[in-house]
Structure 1
């Protein structure tokens, strides 16, 4: 073939470069085939259509093949970034990581999605996954409860930012549990101080439960412990008020029966002082 002028030279150079490239790849693959320790597939990248990868990932997910599903969704993110399927794959990858117990990865993937697409249709689900991932890491009440606080923040975000989403009801349920964990931790610390007769420190912990976690399962014991603590400190009016609020809201509680009995040993009975912080806090209780 004969080329004329500059265009002919340029076309000739492209053919020469292409031929050289073909020879180079052929030599490389030939060398790889002769070396059993080299995988020639590492030199060849297959780029599949995004919709094909996504549907394959869903099929793997439905078949319980979570690792393979994650690989498909990862491939979409790498090969087709910022596409519609990349957005969907990011959320699905967060879900796959959550299902595999890889909670940090799930939180990172969902948080990345939320930072890139905060107003997208799946934003509520991504935020819900963040909450679930923290929720599954909540330890027993004797241990540090920072994860409970993070779960509370995540589920609160679901409820406040996406009030019409289908994830609100379950978020509210899990939120109550996480709050109960925080209240339980405060009760554990308060009992520790009470056993050592460090009454001021104990009262501060029980007060925190009454004021910040009034509608948890810990509230009955917190009021009873305040009755006990204030009685031991000689603050009889506060002790009587704590017992009165407890009896008003939970009259059949064993904690109230114990508090009533304690006051009786000193010739006292439950009597609410409306000016006390306990009375004001008591107005916010479920049974008030």
Structure 2
């Protein structure tokens, strides 16, 4: 069923959230929404999304969702609410809505989208706004959200290998693996500075074993060479040097 827009609804709905003259409490706002008609208000929310006003869209969609949780279009309202929360910079609300949607609709045709958006949202949580603004990349920051995102995408691909989001999910998983490998190298270098050479070598080996398809293999081998050198483990150092020389002949550690 296609939603149709009633005359004046967009103006009235917007006034609920901006002017507040017609409703002074949340209960009155909900009642005002109900009085305008759910179909017309949903159209207004979609219009807000189309022009990038995700804050207003999420307000309208949230009220529709709370007032009509089992309506004919409730599933699409929830999916749009997930996207509006994400684009509006409210990742915690997006995750809560995603988890509720998956829990209540495990067999829905668009549940793969919910899994995908969970991964995307967790990736966003791993990013730091101030780091982006200042151009600073802190590889040693807590990677827990990246790990969650990786599991979200892995779950999507495992459950829905033919999903239209699967290819994008795989690409994002590669990006996350590189992020996690960088974190391991940052920790290994921290151990090197503290002269904890065994721990540093173990971190380097962990990268080799778990992230062999990332750009961090060379620094991992170099950390291992340095650690084995400090530990006087000549055979392990020479074996690692051979691997380094074979794959990265321009490494400064070969001088």
Residue number in structure 1 paired with 2:161: 163
Check 1:245–1:39 CA distance in 2 against 1; reply closer, same or farther (3 A cut): closer
Q: Aligned pair 1:203/2:209, yes or no?
A: no
Q: Aligned pair 1:173/2:171, yes or no?
A: yes
User: 2:84 & 2:235 partners in 1: Cα distance?
Assistant: 56
Residue number in structure 2 paired with 1:214: 212
| Cα offset, 1:173, TM superposition | 1.9
- Structure having the higher Rg: 1
Which shows bigger deviation, 146-155 or 68-77?
68-77
2:113 paired residue among 122, 125, 132: 125
Q: Conserved in 1, the CA contact under 8 Å of 2:181 and 2:216?
A: yes
Question: With CA pairs under 8 Å and 6+ residues apart, which has the higher RCO, 1 or 2?
Answer: 2
Q: CA RMSD in A?
A: 2.5
Normalising by structure 1, report the TM-score: 0.70
User: 2:124 & 2:74 partners in 1: Cα distance?
Assistant: 27
Secondary structure of 2:151's counterpart equals: helix
Deviations 1:153-200, CA, capped at 9 Å, x for gaps? 112122222211221222222212222122111111111222332211
Structure 1: 4+ residue segments shifted above 4 A: 38-41
Pairs within 5 Å for 1:101-120: 101-120=89-108
Check 1:70–1:251 CA distance in 2 against 1; reply closer, same or farther (3 A cut): closer
| Cα offset, 1:82, TM superposition | 2.1
Q: Conserved in 1, the CA contact under 8 Å of 2:122 and 2:145?
A: yes
Residue number in structure 2 paired with 1:87: 75
Q: Conserved in 1, the CA contact under 8 Å of 2:42 and 2:61?
A: yes
Residue number in structure 2 paired with 1:54: 42
1:240 paired residue among 235, 238, 241: 238
Residue number in structure 1 paired with 2:55: 67
User: 1:244 & 1:211 partners in 2: Cα distance?
Assistant: 17
1:45 paired residue among 27, 31, 38: 31
Secondary structure of 1:151's counterpart equals: helix
Check 1:73–1:43 CA distance in 2 against 1; reply closer, same or farther (3 A cut): closer
Check 1:233–1:142 CA distance in 2 against 1; reply closer, same or farther (3 A cut): same
Check 1:123–1:198 CA distance in 2 against 1; reply closer, same or farther (3 A cut): same
User: 1:155 & 1:238 partners in 2: Cα distance?
Assistant: 37
Give the aligned length: 222
Which shows bigger deviation, 99-108 or 191-200?
191-200
Residue number in structure 1 paired with 2:221: 223
Normalising by structure 2, report the TM-score: 0.78
Residue number in structure 1 paired with 2:180: 182
Unaligned runs of 5+ in 1: 1-35, 262-288
User: 2:29 & 2:207 partners in 1: Cα distance?
Assistant: 62
